[in-house]
Amino acid sequence: MTVPVADQQHQEQRAAQAAATAAAVRALWMGTDPDDMERSWLAQVLVVAQLLRQGQVAAAASAEPWLSSTVGTGEGTVDPEAAAAATGDLTVPLMYPLWIALNRVRRGFSTTMSILSGAAFLEMVTRTLVADAGRIADMAGMISRPRVVSYVRVVKLPACPRCLILAGREYSFSEGFLRHPRCNCTIAPRRPGDTWKLSGPKQLFEEMTPEQQHKAFGAAAVKAIGEGADIAQVVNARRGMDTVTAYGRKVQATRTGTTRRGIAGARLITGDPEALIVPRSGGDMKVVSEFTRRTRTGRQQLVRLRGAKAPRLMPEEIYRLADGDREHAIRLLKRNGYIV
């Protein structure tokens, strides 16, 4: 199922506002004098800041009408100006395109390519800031309405893998909204008695075209998911990806999930392809990570996380090792914690 129609329309309106603001700001940047980028950009940066702020305010202003029509009135109304201001000062973000372009010129790139690099960054930061202002207003409006008890992450395709694995997840208001630059995800309110459910990562993955799947995940990951691998395990594994020496050769592996608390770690340590935990007294382990933390009494404490000695292979490496043997590939996917 998808979110109610009103919530979908709100999401589309928010995305359209971000895109329109980004296009307007980019047009001003592209008018920068290539022979004197610094002077020409500084001459109009205040106009650009005003345009960007207007886009933020417009995005934030859509929160109250949407929530009032779907949830009802709250204890007060959200101030769009305050929501926009909460995203921070615009001065530094709007200077970055200039710094990027000038740095590229100094490194020998053409002026045209340098300006385009600045434009790409400016468009990304504009979309992000507009979306952030809107989400701040949405969250404030939900909190002011006692009927809303939580919020759900709404992911619209096409989406990046990091967002896709969070699709449909429900959060309390004490949990912040995780986002990355140019993230288009929005939030939908949940009230007691609501029965609608969002499509999860697996359903969204199946809705993607083969081209979208390969672009987002890569060929090996798509194949692993098709074999039954958990999408979250595949995506999270890439965070700690590295090339290591194992089995007498260089292999692609990851450190993510290899501690005794991780599924992959439990299986690599115990040798049991169905294991979910590691007995405290058993297993062949090594220190895979260590860090210092401060205790409640103010004392510095060294923490050592123990995990598997064997590397956790990436899906790409698993398929290379399997060499066309599907059963062997599935065994390795299970052993390395991708099929759970």
Confidence band for 250, pLDDT divided at 50, 70 and 90? confident
**Out of 93-97, 117-121, 211-215, least confident range:** 211-215
Nearest-angstrom CA–CA distance, 337 and 297: 38
Report the pLDDT averaged over residues 258-264: 80
Residue 219 confidence (pLDDT) above 70: yes
The string of pLDDT tens digits covering residues 186-213 is 888 888 877 777 778 888 888 888 888 8
The CB density around residue 86, as the number of other CB atoms within 10 Å, is 15
d(CA 124, CA 118): 10
pLDDT at 2: 61
Average pLDDT over residues 116-122: 95
Assign residue 283 a region (left: φ > 0; alpha: ψ between -120 and 50; beta: otherwise): left
DSSP string, 288-310: EEEEEEE-TTS-EEEEEEEEESS
